[in-house]
Structure 1
Amino acid sequence: MNSTSDLVVDSYEEAVVKNIVIVLLGVIINSINGMFVVTFLANPIFSKDSRYILYIHLVINDMIMIFVSVTLYVMSYVLRLLNFPFCCMLLILGTTTFMISPLNLAGMAVERFIAVCKPLHHYQICTPQRTYIFICFLWCIGVIPSLADFSILLSTQPSSFQRTVVYCYPPIVFPTKLHKDRLTYSQIIYMSLVWFIVIYTYCNVMFTAKKASSGNSANKARNTILLHGVQLLLCMLSYLTPVLDFILISLFPVHRSKINFLTYLLTNIMPRLLSPLIYGVRDQKFVKKMKEHFICKFCFLKIAP
């Protein structure tokens, strides 16, 4: 997760503009996602469907990630140096939510696979209780890389380091080769697993759709899993940030700060809006309930004395 600005000092005007843009986008994204959460909570029918439970967990997870990322970005300008324990807490939360997003998408793909390929067992396997257990399992898996980083830090740095103030930027807080190796291997393992699940479920659902005499539900599930693939690509854009930074800064070194800002914006912030939005808007049932809820709220506020 690239959550802080580069360490190049910007002019006062440029720093203000960047922070206003980032904070404004963060508020807009979390407000839109918050509408999805309110719609889910206001309609009990969604809380009984594992598909919507997993979806709203993805939305909440991305809201937390946006909040942490924007907080770290602003703090990198306002405070520059943070207490090590507070910085670690933010980095662990941000990294954990970052790792959970693709895993959640894999879970959503599996749920659609079971609904189409094992329809008689779907309501036995994908119960709300089991879905919440699965979400807890995702958090346990997602936090492992962060705890590994923290453990490596404790074993390689003196205890006095924990009482210092630091630039709250992952490569600075976790600088050793062990941290870099952990980052590389965990990303390869996690993303390979997720892509395998998405491709496997898509192929099986596609095969089922071809066999079925009436394949409308299977075709919809196939398109949904394909959409999960698109969402996964959006999540993976953040992996391209270092590559884009390296290429663009090599070509335009005098614009290093602007390049870092734009790549952070395009690969870390915007995908967190598009990923939940394209899935939520596509679901007609969810959109209908959302319109009904907010139109009723608007009418109530309008007629209230």
Structure 2
Amino acid sequence: MAGNNSVNYVFLQRSISYRVIIVQILVIIFLCINMLLIVVFVKKECFHTSARYILFFVTLLSDSVLLLVSDVLLVLTHFEITMPVWLCITISVVVLLYFIVTPVTLTAMTLERYVAICMPLRHGQLCSTRSTMYCILIIHGVSSGPCIIILSMFFASSSLKFYKQYIICSGETFSLYRWQDHVRSAVYQFYFFIMGITIAYSYVQIMKVAKAASGEKKKLTHKGLKTVILHAFQLLLCLIQLWCPFIEIAVLQTDFTLFLNVRYFNYIMFNIAPRCLSPLIYGLRDEIFFLVLKNLRPTSSCSK
């Protein structure tokens, strides 16, 4: 009962700001869009045999989970609600994992477009349903690397007393020392460097095919190029997010109000925005998916 009273006191003392309300509206809108696309994918069996749509489904799930969990943390932080360290660790594992799952999946989707355009005869073999399932396991295995490194540094540096405390859960919880921030940033930037090279290589190879193509093949390659460019832009936004903590720390030393404004802008632009591009890239831009959305009937097919 005392716990409920303390929570109510916090809510009374600290009213919700318009910024938090705006974030809630954006998160709800994009979660609804994602849920709609997920339902469409689940209902239409023809999507279940296509590598590009299966990977798109993975991005929708990972983006939805990340948006939901990060939004909950935002609200808890805003009202300064504490939680046990073990619970914060559990929640942070989800955030750390799915922060990387989306860009790694985008890289896999870019490679799928590369195989479809540059190696069409091998596309059926390399991008079969079974291969895609193995690819999803590899994506989650690769994405868990930064999470394992960050938690290992935290467990090695923290004392047993720390786990008995109640804290406000945030990304800074696991950075007990400055060098841990640098290691985390180095690991993330290495990942995004590899993914950036992969996307750039795919773009160059698709560009070569586009120059030599004609007719329907040329139209397909140009659409593939636009998709790769959008993936690259999405990956760039995710990469910029890694630099945000360093910018925020520098701003914090000069002006706290400016720090709050910068942190709010960074959250909208580099956390929410990249997670909302996937429905536009592979949902509304895709002709088959768009036609199914326009005709949401149980008997509607996936054919044009």
TM category (shorter chain) comes to: 0.7 to 0.9
Q: Which amino acid aligns with 1:162?
A: Y
Structure-1 residue corresponding to 2:234? 231
Structure-1 residue corresponding to 2:5? none
Moved more, 194-203 or 68-77: 68-77
User: CA separation in 1, counterparts of 2:170 and 2:47?
Assistant: 38
Structure 1: stretches of 5+ with no match in the other structure: 1-8, 299-305
Instruction: Note the C-alpha offset of 1:171.
Output: 1.9
- Check the 8 A contact 1:227/1:279 in 2, yes or no: no
- Check the 8 A contact 1:241/1:264 in 2, yes or no: no
Identity over aligned pairs, percent: 25
User: CA separation in 1, counterparts of 2:182 and 2:249?
Assistant: 20
1:35-114 matches, within 5 Å, as 35-114=36-115
Instruction: Note the C-alpha offset of 1:220.
Output: 2.1
Structure 2: stretches of 5+ with no match in the other structure: 1-9, 298-304
Q: Deviations over 1:12-55 (max 9, x none)?
A: 57634333222222111111111111111111111110011111
Structure-1 residue corresponding to 2:263? 260
Instruction: Note the C-alpha offset of 1:182.
Output: 2.5
1:143-222 matches, within 5 Å, as 143-214=144-215, 215-222=218-225
Structure-1 residue corresponding to 2:121? 120
- Check the 8 A contact 1:96/1:143 in 2, yes or no: yes
Count of residue pairs the alignment pairs up: 287
Where 2:295 maps in the other structure, the secondary structure is helix
User: CA separation in 2, counterparts of 1:108 and 1:87?
Assistant: 32
Moved more, 264-273 or 127-136: 264-273
User: CA separation in 2, counterparts of 1:258 and 1:247?
Assistant: 13
TM-score by length of 2: 0.85
Instruction: Note the C-alpha offset of 1:193.
Output: 0.6
Q: Deviations over 1:190-245 (max 9, x none)?
A: 01110100000110111112223442222222222122112222333423433554
CA spacing shift, 1:248–1:174, aligned 2, 3 Å: closer
Q: Which amino acid aligns with 1:282?
A: R
Runs of 4+ deviating beyond 4 Å? 9-14, 246-253
User: CA separation in 2, counterparts of 1:104 and 1:169?
Assistant: 25
User: CA separation in 2, counterparts of 1:237 and 1:288?
Assistant: 34
User: CA separation in 1, counterparts of 2:259 and 2:178?
Assistant: 25
Q: Deviations over 1:73-96 (max 9, x none)?
A: 111133532111110111111111
Where 2:276 maps in the other structure, the secondary structure is helix
Q: Does 1:284 align with 2:282?
A: no
Moved more, 10-19 or 81-90: 10-19
1:3-18 matches, within 5 Å, as 15-18=16-19
- Check the 8 A contact 2:157/2:176 in 1, yes or no: no
Structure-2 residue corresponding to 1:4? none
CA spacing shift, 1:13–1:163, aligned 2, 3 Å: closer
CA spacing shift, 1:166–1:248, aligned 2, 3 Å: closer
1:124-135 matches, within 5 Å, as 124-135=125-136
Moved more, 112-121 or 269-278: 269-278
Instruction: Note the C-alpha offset of 1:246.
Output: 5.6
Instruction: Note the C-alpha offset of 1:174.
Output: 2.5
**Cα-Cα RMSD:** 2.6
TM-score by length of 1: 0.85
CA spacing shift, 1:260–1:222, aligned 2, 3 Å: closer
Structure-2 residue corresponding to 1:303? none
User: CA separation in 2, counterparts of 1:79 and 1:10?
Assistant: 9
Q: Which amino acid aligns with 2:292?
A: K
Where 1:270 maps in the other structure, the secondary structure is helix
Instruction: Note the C-alpha offset of 1:268.
Output: 1.4
Where 1:121 maps in the other structure, the secondary structure is helix
